[in-house]
Copies of this chain bind each other. A is one copy, B any other.
Amino acid sequence: MDEQDHPPAGYHHGNLRQALLAAARELLEERGPGALGLREIARRVGVSAPSAYHHFASLDAIAASLAEQGFTEFAEQLEAAPTNAGGMLAPTGEAYIAFARANPALYRLMFGEGLRGASRESKAVRALRQRAYEKVKAGLRKRLPADEVPAAALFLWSLTHGLALLMIDGQVDAGADASALIRQVLKLSGTGLPSAG
């Protein structure tokens, strides 16, 4: 039975779980959150569908696991954003949107799409979202009176989240230089809009 040459060693198959997650992630980005299917995942790994139940409690658990994995990478990339330590917010925003654009389906999954029932309320996923959010707040506390922080953080997160989703959905025709447009939009979070209020 040499169905694969990866040598990761392990038990029977050559540690499944991760193979399932890898296949799931490929499928996710190939065909979107709604097309995540347990049988298709197993098919790609070359294994029978129910065998997945030795490693995951359900398809939702696989999706939740992907979401967690996504949040981990997300946090890494946000913290690695250039001059993040310097106190500038825009570079973090750009990294945020870069991640979403590089992993569109994963990003949508992380924010609830394709998760049916249980894992939509998943404590793990929700906690991870909140942790990312707390980082933004911490950055703002250095520069704003405490009572303005919540609204300011929500403002920044809404703007970035919304822009990311609109771009992912192909709803904004960014043309050739998307990053220029992104920078332009994010910069408005500093200056504001004339007579918008």
Is the beta-carbon distance between A156 and B116 smaller than 8 angstroms? no
B191 contacts A197, C-beta separation under 8 Å: yes
Given B160, B166, B188, which contacts A151 in the complex, CB threshold below 8 Å? B188
A155 to B160, CA, bound (A): 9
B171-A165 in contact (CB<8A): no
Number of A interface residues in the complex (CB < 8 A): 52
A106 at the binding interface (Cβ < 8 Å): no
* Chain-B contact segment, one of A20-28, A40-48, A72-80, A87-95: A87-95
Contact of A197 among B88, B113, B143 (CB under 8 A): B88
Chain B residues whose CB sits within 8 angstroms of the CB of A157 once the complex forms = 162, 166
Partner of A162, one of B32, B116, B161: B161
Q: Do B166 and A154 touch (CB < 8 A)?
A: yes
B87 with A171: CB separation less than 8 A: no
Q: How far is the CA of A126 from the CA of B189 in the complex (A)?
A: 27
| Residues in B whose Cβ lies below 8 Å from that of A159 | 155, 158-159, 162
Q: CA of A155 to CA of B158 in the docked complex: distance in angstroms?
A: 10
Q: Which residues of B contact A171 (CB under 8 A)?
A: 126, 129, 133
Could you say which of A151, A156, A158, A165 has the most chain B C-beta atoms within 10 Å of its C-beta? A158
- A sample of 8 cross-chain residue pairs with beta-carbon separation below 8 angstroms, ordered by A number, consists of A34-B34, A89-B193, A89-B196, A151-B184, A151-B188, A152-B193, A158-B159, A158-B185
